[in-house]
Every structure is written in structure tokens, then in C-alpha cells.
Amino acid sequence: MATDILMPALSPTMEEGKLAKWLKKEGDAVKSGDVLAEIETDKATMEVEAIDEGVLAKILIEEGTEGVAVNTPIAIIAAEGEDVSAAASGGGKAKPNGSGGHPAPTPDMQAEGQADKPAPAAKTAEDAPRAPAAPAVITNKAQEPVMAEFPADTPMVTQTVREALRDAMAEEMRRDPDVFVMGEEVAEYQGAYKVTQNLLQEFGAKRVVDTPITEHGFAGIGVGAALAGLKPIVEFMTFNFAMQAIDQIINSAAKTLYMSGGQLGCPIVFRGPNGAAARVAAQHSHDYSAWYSNVPGLKVIAPYTASDAKGLLKAAIRDPNPVIFLENEILYGQSFPVPKLEDFVLPIGKARIHRPGTDVTIVSFAIGMTYALKAAQALAEQGIEAEVIDLRTIRPMDTDTVVESVKKTGRCITVEEGFPQSGVGAEISARLMVDAFDYLDAPVLRITGKDVPMPYAANLEKLALPSVAEVVEAAKSVCYK
Amino acid sequence: MAAAKNAGQSKAEAATPPAEAAHRPAPNAPQFTREEDLHAYHEMLLIRRFEEKAGQLYGMGLIGGFCHLYIGQEAVVIGMQMASVEGDQVITGYRDHGHMLACGMDPKGVMAELTGRRGGYSRGKGGSMHMFSREKQFFGGHGIVGAQVSLGTGLAFADHYRENGKVSLTYMGDGAANQGQVYESFNMAALWKLPVVYVIENNRYAMGTSVARASAQTDFSKRGLSFGIPGEQVDGMDVRTVREAATRAIEHARSGQGPYILEMQTYRYRGHSMSDPAKYRSKDEVTKMRDEHDPIEMVRKRLLELHGVPEADLKATDAKVREIVNDSAEFATNDPEPDPSELWTDILLEANA
């Protein structure tokens, strides 16, 4: 019987890609292992192989098509002699391509920030609850930032977070010859997550330095180079691997200025993806926001939008202090409007009111914002107007913006993917206890990742992460509704 | 056994160097001129007397916390400095007072840091293990064993990046030489041909653990072999052999050939720190080294017997050094503690952007 060939995912976080080329044409006989087509994303390329014998009966997606959602049928393979004229797209038995099937697209990770794109196909069915209570299934458009950080008539371009980060580095490297980037696969591979794409081509191997797999060593070399006055950008393939290097980050980078009585600053940026991606289990899913934010001598940035990613990374590179710049793999591919300015730099340490509201304050950052914003939309439909604050910088923390909001709403909940104990939400809660005690009409509630190592199984992983439903429930709870 | 190159030479006796084998005076040691010996004498004596004074101040409760004295190892850093040029960087671990003085840092500022006073190099906020001088290109002073090796390699990375012709002199002890990041650094330094000289000060004890009890390969000059880094074992008690090997190593690094390892076979007379049980080695061992291989006595003897310097001249030098050290102690004793407001300074630099 006819079988649909589906658009494969190259990685657990891929949502769509380009069908670059068909290597077989309709009517061709194919056997298992034959390469049918080539798929491209901004991260990687892969070949789609046939997994059945038969005839390529129908090509459903023409080559050159961009933005093909994962799981979309791209062709139909029929048994020899079978009539497939009746087999409409999707009529066949769907078979995922590639070995091991395809990972489920990450459900409520789908970017609210992708306002410029249609929601990926085949999403609703995947939107299973992450927590025991079923979350509201919501699709909403991105809220425009409400705090003006650039002139209102600034032209905007749509960029992914990945592109914004790349542009930030490229612009700063053009501006200052002391800036260089080092890390695993940053140069010839073009970045493990393609964040450093084309930097090698523009700046050469001297300033885009591939390192061996040796985090402790190259973090130390980066810090040493910074103490000597260079401005390294050290990329960790993920911050999980920075655990190997954390002594150099904390003991050398963060403390030397103090220990030297102000003589030796350390102008360095440590950046890379932080926190959970999708289905990568406990050792590759840790959120270190709270850890680094505990350390005097560091600045810690965790942006959500592409615009913030760009403006804050540029600020981080110029900052004379060590900056931990926490990115997120799931956000890399999400698109946002970015101001088209020659030199767009944002202040470190300023939160942004992402969505104004009057009834409850939701404080979040980085990917936590995706839950917060969807919850705010759901709450609005139930008559509760949430004010959503994106911290953007975890250290120094912009307590004032949070306190001012809470004075207005009288209620606060926090949202983060990290663990609950001593987390960022715990810190906000403690600060509000001191700075806004008289304004609070309800206890501050924290929505966090669960207090367990990240499990691998899809259902357990969903349960371990925060959910929109949890945020909605918490918001209603503090509103006594 | 001065400056024996790895290649081609039997190192059987050096594999587990007994005191005598390692510190037999080199028969063919390169000679110093009278001026060079005078310089070395003054510089080493300054370290010796400074450290003795630091020990006294510690006993009086004026210096707190950790305090690791360099007494016995003076020839290493002085011989290295005699081969370096201005602008070459120096970085080391926690036994660092000697390196600071050798780099030309003011003894008053060093001693005042030891006593935690505002006139200290780190304004009293670093202490014995954390002192720096951007001006003298001394980059610390590091309390995490082995961390300075990656950092020193980073200094060399910066030299290489800037093509400034400078060399990073990166010191570590025999204990640090077993840390993982040391080898990560060796690999990258060799891969990128960074201008760094790794000086392994083998004083035979990592705290209380002898080299033989901690190291499968006790010939530290071979620790870079798998990365193609040349190494030498050097009599680190003889300032002349140190300088000779240092000259060769620094030239190698400066000329773009990459890193070089010098294992300095030396000895510390005092304990690991001020609270040392002294149970892990015999008194005789210490006495024998002091009596027969003291780096300062050797120079003093040469000055008197070989260069014909009058004893009165050396006594004048001794007096001058004592005065410098006493002045530093007096300053460090009378200088006020940091202003309480210093608690909150130097945490972050102001961003200009």
C-alpha cells in the first residue's frame, strides 16, 4: 500500500526546513537506503532515504520549497504497480523517515515569537499536557515590546535569535580587533548550533578559533587572554559542558578584579545554549541561570527575543566584566522583529515589560517567557490581565521594575525552567518580601522545572518542565479566582 | 646534572631523583660574571630575608590565613628573570612572594598585602596567594592548584594574537603538574605554538606528598612529550644553570617554536604552609640540602673566592637587604587596614559603552 514520506526532523528542536533537492523523480523505482531528497535547515543538511521498496509515485512538495513543517508528507511511495492516483496526500500510512523515527516537535515550545509564520502543521495533536492538568491550547501572536528602546519609526527586520547573535558578534568583531571567538566547532563546522555561521569566512582562523574538546583548558586560556586585555567570546557547546570549566569562570574570571584590588579586569563573554532543549536528558538539560547569578563579579544575561539577544550580546562583549550569556537551543530558530540600526546596544540589567497588565505580575526570562506569554493570553480570555516582565538580565537583577509592577498588581508569580530550590524565582520572591511586602495581596508563587533530574521519556520530560497550565493556574490562584 | 636535554640522554638517575643525584653541583655550570653573581646574590637574598620576615610576622599574628614561603627555591625565579625581558609575563600558584619580588614589585606593597593593609598590592583584599601587578606584568598569585597554567597559556595566547614578541613564564609545582587542565593547556599551547615556558618547580613535595608517591612519571621534563613539547631537567639550586636553561627555553618560545618545559629541581626548606607537621620528611634531608646546596650560599662563596669580592661588601649588601625588608615590615605593620567602604569596591568595572 502507499506510504507517505514525511518531512524529517534533523534534530529534536527542528520545526521546519527547506526541501532543497529531489534526487529521484516520479516513477523511479526506489529501494531501502536510496537517497530520495536533500533537506536543509539553517543549522544542517541531511539526506532523506527511502525506507521501503517501491515506486516514487508522487512528489508532494517541490524542490526549493522553504518552511516545510516537520511531519508534512513530502512524497508517496507506492508498491510496484499500485495505483496511487487515489492516494491523496496523507491518505497513505505515514512513515517517518530516518532511523529511529522522528522526535515529536516540542509542543508548547512553538514560538509565540513566530508571529510572522504560520503555526507549524500537525501541532495540535502533539499538544498533550505536560502536567497532570491539561493546559489550554493557545496560539497567540507576539506582543511587541512596550518599552521603547529605539525610536518608534525604526525599521524592523525579522531575524531568528541565531542570526541576531551572529550579527552581534560580527558587528563587535568589526568594531574591535581585540574581540575574538573561541570554542568547539565555532569555525570550520560553522558552530554546533550555527550561531557562529560565516564568522570564520569573514574574520579568519586567528579570530575564530576552533578548540579541542577541552572546556577547562580553553576557558582558562580565554580568561588568561582577557586578563592580558583581549576580549574573548568563549562559546560553550552547551553550558552543561561549562561545568568542566566552572572553576575558571568563578575563581579566575569573577574574582580576580576584587582579589587584585581593581587592577585586573576580565572582559570576557561566556556564551552558549543553556537549559533544556528537547529529549536530551539530565546531563544536557540543566538550567544554570540561578547558579551563575549567585556569584558577585559576574553579570548574567538570559534573553528571550532576537532583539534582546542582539542588543545585549553587543553590550556583553563591550562590558569590561565577565558576562555569562545564557542562550537557549529552542529559541535559536525563533523569529522576532529586530531594529535595523547600525549599532543597537541594550543596557545590561534592565528588565522589560513585555506585556502590560493590571491584575497579576508574571516575571520570567529566556524560554520561560514562552509559557508566561501564552498563559497571559489564556488569562486575558478569562478576564485576568497579566503584566509579563522579561528580566533579560538575571544579575544585576532589575528589582525596581518588578516591584513597580507588583505595587500595581499586588500579585506575582515567577516562571523559569530551572529547579525550584534557590532558583531565580526564589530570589525574586525574597526581594518582594522585603521591597513590596505591603503591596502583596497573595503569596508569590513560583512555577519552575520540577525538582528532578531531566528525564528522557517524552511524557516525563513534559511533566518535568513548567507548563502553560501551571502558570495559568498559579495566576488564577493568586488572584483568588 | 645541569640542563640535560631529554633527547638521547639516559635519565635513569633522574627518574626518581635522590637529593644527591638531583643537586650534585654541575661540574660544567656556566659561569656568571662578577656583576651577574652580585645581582643574583642581592635578588635571592631579598627573597630569603623577606620570607623569613613574613614567617616572623605570621608568628606574631600580623599575617593571617595561608602563607607559603619560598625559602630554598630562590634560584629558580631569579635565574628565570635574568633570562627574560621587560614585558614578558609571569604567573604562578600560591607560593608566590618570591616571584613578585623578582618581578620588581615593591616589597612594602607585598608585605602590606600579607598583613591585609590598604597599601597592599590588592588593597588588602587578596592576601598571600592573590597579588598582581599589571605594571610589572605579574599576573598572580593563584590559589587553585593548576589554574594558573591555563591562565598563563592564555597570556601566551594574547602575546601570539598581538604578535608582540613577549613570552609567558608560567610556573607550577610538582603537585600542579598532575592536574588535568595542565595537559589541556599543553595540548593547545603546542597545537597553536604559543610563546609559553612552563616552569615546573619540583620541590619534591606537593604539600606532604612526595613526588614518588604522587607521580607515575617523576621526570617532569617529559610531561610534554606526547604533545611534542621539549623539556629539560635543570638544577634549580644553581642560579647559573637556571638562567642558561631559561635563556634556551625563552628563545625557543619567543622565536615561534611553541612551548617549552623546564623542570626545576629545587627544594623548599620550610613547610608547605605555616602549619606543617614536618612528618613527611626527615630533618636530616632538610639540613643536608641547606648545608650543601643552598642557592645563596653557593653564590656567596663564588663572590668571595672566585670574584674576590671583599666580605665587607657582602655584609653591606646584607645590611641593605635587611633594611629594605625591615622597612617593608614596618610599613605593613603600621599601614591602616582597608577602609570599610573597600568591601564594596572592585567587584565590577564601570561599563563605558
Residue B10 located in a structural domain? no
Cβ-Cβ contacts under 8 Å, A206 against chain B? 161
Residue B343 located in a structural domain? no
Contacts 24+ apart (CB under 8 A), A56-61: A56/A24, A56/A25, A56/A26, A56/A27, A56/A28, A56/A29, A56/A30, A57/A2, A57/A26, A57/A27, A57/A82, A57/A84, A57/A87, A58/A26, A58/A84, A58/A87, A59/A22, A59/A25, A59/A26, A60/A89, A61/A7, A61/A19
Grid cell for residue A58: 508522487
- CATH number for position B124: 3.40.50.970
Grid cell for residue B85: 625581558
Locus of grid cell 621526570: B219
Residue A217 Cα distances to A249, A420, B150, B320, angstroms: 11, 32, 6, 44
Contact (CB<8Å) A260/B346: yes
Contact (CB<8Å) A263/B151: no
Write the pLDDT tens digit of every residue in A206-221.
999 999 999 999 999 9
Regions of chain B with pLDDT less than 70:
1-27, 353
Restricting to B residues 35-94, those with a Cβ less than 8 Å away from any Cβ of A are 89, 91
Cβ-Cβ contacts under 8 Å, B126 against chain A? 259-261
Chunked in runs of 10, what are the mean pLDDT values of chain A (481 residues)?
A: 83 82 90 87 80 87 91 87 56 43 39 40 37 34 54 94 98 98 97 96 98 98 98 98 97 98 97 94 96 98 98 98 98 97 96 98 98 98 98 98 98 98 98 97 98 96 97 98 91
pLDDT of residue B6: 46
Cβ-Cβ contacts under 8 Å, A319 against chain B? 351, 353
Cβ-Cβ contacts under 8 Å, A311 against chain B? none
Cβ-Cβ contacts under 8 Å, B348 against chain A? 257, 297, 299, 321
Contact (CB<8Å) A247/B144: yes
Q: How far apart are CA B215 and CA B223, in angstroms?
A: 11
Residue B4 located in a structural domain? no
Restricting to B residues 247-286, those with a Cβ less than 8 Å away from any Cβ of A are none
Residue A90 Cα distances to A54, A85, A315, B74, B304, angstroms: 17, 13, 49, 81, 100
Residue B181 located in a structural domain? yes
For chain A, how far is it from start to end, CA to CA, in angstroms? 54
For chain B, how far is it from start to end, CA to CA, in angstroms? 56
Best of B138, B151, B198 to mutate (most A CBs within 10 Å, chain A): B151
Q: How far apart are CA A96 and CA A54, in angstroms?
A: 16
Residue among A220, A248, A320 minimizing CB distance to B349: A320
Q: How far is B197 from chain A (nearest CA, A)?
A: 15
Residue among B147, B181, B351 minimizing CB distance to A319: B351
Cβ-Cβ contacts under 8 Å, B123 against chain A? 261-262
Residue B352 located in a structural domain? no
Residue B339 located in a structural domain? no
For residue B237, give the nearest of B259, B204, B210, B208 by alpha carbon. B204
Best of B105, B106, B128, B132 to mutate (most A CBs within 10 Å, chain A): B132
Residue among B121, B130, B139 minimizing CB distance to A227: B139
**B136: closest chain A residue by CA:** A263
Domains of chain A: 3-88 (2.40.50.100), 156-339 (3.40.50.970), 352-479 (3.40.50.920)
Phi/psi at B257 (nearest 5 deg)?
-90, 0
pLDDT of residue B274: 86
Contact (CB<8Å) B352/A320: yes
State whether residue B125 sits within 8 Å of chain A by CB: yes
Greatest Cα pair distance in chain B: 63
Best of A246, A250, A252, A263 to mutate (most B CBs within 10 Å, chain B): A263
pLDDT of residue B210: 94
pLDDT of residue A85: 58
Residue among A223, A262, A318 minimizing CB distance to B154: A223
Restricting to B residues 132-161, those with a Cβ less than 8 Å away from any Cβ of A are 132-134, 139-144, 147, 149-159, 161
Q: How far apart are CA B285 and CA B264, in angstroms?
A: 18
Q: How far apart are CA B245 and CA A2, in angstroms?
A: 78
**Domain enclosing residue B318, as ranges:** 31-325
pLDDT of residue A255: 98
Residue B277 located in a structural domain? yes
Residue A12: count other Cβ atoms within 10 Å of its Cβ.
17
Torsion of CA A136, A142, A144, A150, to 10 degrees: 140
Phi/psi at B306 (nearest 5 deg)?
-90, -45
Q: How far apart are CA B189 and CA B161, in angstroms?
A: 13
SS3 string, B200-224, reads EEECCEECCEEHHHHCCCCCHHHCC
Contact (CB<8Å) B147/A321: no
* Residues of A known to be catalytic: 215, 284
pLDDT of residue B25: 53
Residues of A near B (CB-CB distance < 8 A)? 180, 206, 211-212, 214, 216-230, 247-248, 251-252, 256-265, 296-297, 299, 315, 318-321, 345, 348
**B183: closest chain A residue by CA:** A217
Write the pLDDT tens digit of every residue in A400-426.
999 999 999 999 999 999 999 999 999
Contact (CB<8Å) B346/A261: yes
**B351: closest chain A residue by CA:** A319
What's the complex ipTM?
Answer: 0.90
Contacts 24+ apart (CB under 8 A), B16-24: B16/B211, B16/B212, B16/B218, B17/B218, B17/B233, B17/B265, B19/B267, B19/B285, B19/B288, B19/B289, B22/B235, B22/B265, B23/B235, B23/B237, B23/B265, B23/B267, B23/B289, B23/B292, B23/B293, B24/B235
Q: How many domains does chain B have?
A: 1
For residue B301, give the nearest of B117, B29, B51 by alpha carbon. B29
Contact (CB<8Å) A348/B151: no
pLDDT of residue A464: 97
Residue A124 Cα distances to A11, A120, A128, A130, B251, angstroms: 20, 9, 8, 14, 68
pLDDT of residue A34: 86
Cβ-Cβ contacts under 8 Å, A222 against chain B? 154
Establish, for the pair of chains A and B, how many residue pairs have beta carbons separated by less than 8 Å: 156
pLDDT of residue A149: 85
Residue B308 located in a structural domain? yes
pLDDT of residue A124: 37
Cβ-Cβ contacts under 8 Å, A264 against chain B? 132, 134, 139-140
Contact (CB<8Å) A217/B188: yes
HSE value, Cβ hemisphere, 13 Å, CA-based, for A375: 31
Grid cell for residue A62: 517541490
Restricting to B residues 158-217, those with a Cβ less than 8 Å away from any Cβ of A are 158-159, 161-162, 180-181, 184-185, 187-188, 191
Contact (CB<8Å) B130/A260: yes
